[in-house]
Amino acid sequence: MGKEISQAVIRRMPRYYRYLGDLLDEGVERISSNELSEKMKVTASQIRQDLNNFGGFGQQGYGYNVQYLYDEIGRILGLEQQHNIIIIGAGNLGQALANYSKFEKLGFIIIGLFDINPKLKGQAPRGIPVMMLEELEDFASSHKIDIAALTMPKYTADSIANRLAGLGIRAIWNFAHVDLDLMDKNVVVENVHLSDSLMQLSYNMLQSRNE
């Protein structure tokens, strides 16, 4: 384990990773913090500070080696290993996630959806099977599951999250609009609330109108 990095820095890492990936696609081999700063609209000193957390990777007068930095940030974010995901709730949102193939490029593989609606049994968006919730334990005993996405109604979220934790699933990607009450404190949770982002946008619209 390396030294602990602040969550604020970690929150910025995926964006660096995306930009560096784009640079690689464009065939760029190295880049200075000033150039990266212009592209990303982040100050060069912020970039230097952030990347110094990982040993810097930059050399005076040379800039950053894009491939090296990309690989290193990917390693820090744990992207060099594959993560298997299951989705609980195969409704609109669950199926939309399953239908999005680009997560795979990052090593996130959706291996199954679970629902309680028997009409959905046998469906398979992008070939990913929809199973019934009562099949979860069997499935978990024969598959490695790293992450569970919760895309079912929020009133069921706590009991399902605790059931998943009981199956040894250590990470929850929570879309249900509720703060999970997990008995096992070792389970990590990432909440995604698009409506929070919309409300933030609405606030910023008000501000810009009032300027």
Residue 189 CB, shortest distance to ligand NAI, in Å, is 13
State yes or no: residue 93 binds ligand NAI (CB under 6 A). yes
Should residue 91 be labelled a site residue for ligand NAI when binding is judged by CB under 6 A? yes
Q: Is 108 left (phi over 0), alpha (psi -120 to 50) or beta?
A: beta
* Side chain identity, residue 40: M
Q: Using CB under 6 A as the criterion, what x/- string covers residues 180-209 for binding ligand NAI?
A: ------------xxxx--------------
Q: Are 51 and 58 in contact (CB under 8 A)?
A: yes
Is residue 151 part of the contact set for ligand NAI (CB under 6 A)?
yes
- Nearer to ligand NAI by Cβ, of 91 and 107: the residue is 91
Residue 128 Cβ vs ligand NAI, minimum distance, rounded to whole Å = 15
Q: DSSP state, 104?
A: G
The helix or strand, by DSSP H or E, that contains position 173, with its residue range, turns out to be: strand 171-174
CB closer to ligand NAI, 60 vs 195? 195
153 binds ligand NAI (CB under 6 A): yes
Of residues 46 through 65, those in contact with ligand NAI by CB under 6 A are none
Q: Whose CA is closest to 153, among 90, 86, 84? A: 90
Rounded to an integer, what distance in angstroms lies between the CA atom of residue 83 and that of residue 184? 21
Residues near ligand NAI (CB under 6 A), total = 24
Q: Does 88 help bind ligand NAI (rule: CB under 6 A)?
A: yes
Pick the closest to residue 165 from 145, 189, 187 (CA basis).
Answer: 187
- Please list every residue from 127 through 146 that binds ligand NAI, using CB under 6 A: 133
CA angle 34, 39, 41 (to 5 degrees): 85
Give the number of other CB atoms < 10 A from CB of residue 138.
10
Stretch that binds ligand NAI, among 32-40, 43-51, 137-145, 152-160 (CB under 6 A): 152-160
**Span near ligand NAI by CB under 6 A; candidates 24-32, 70-78, 108-116, 180-188:** 108-116
Shortest CA distance to 142 belongs to which of 79, 82, 86? 86
Told to check if 98 binds ligand NAI by CB under 6 A, we report no
List, in order, residues 6 or more apart from 25 with CB less than 8 Å away: none
Which stretches of the chain bind ligand NAI, using CB under 6 A? 88-94, 114-117, 133, 151-154, 156, 175-177, 192-195
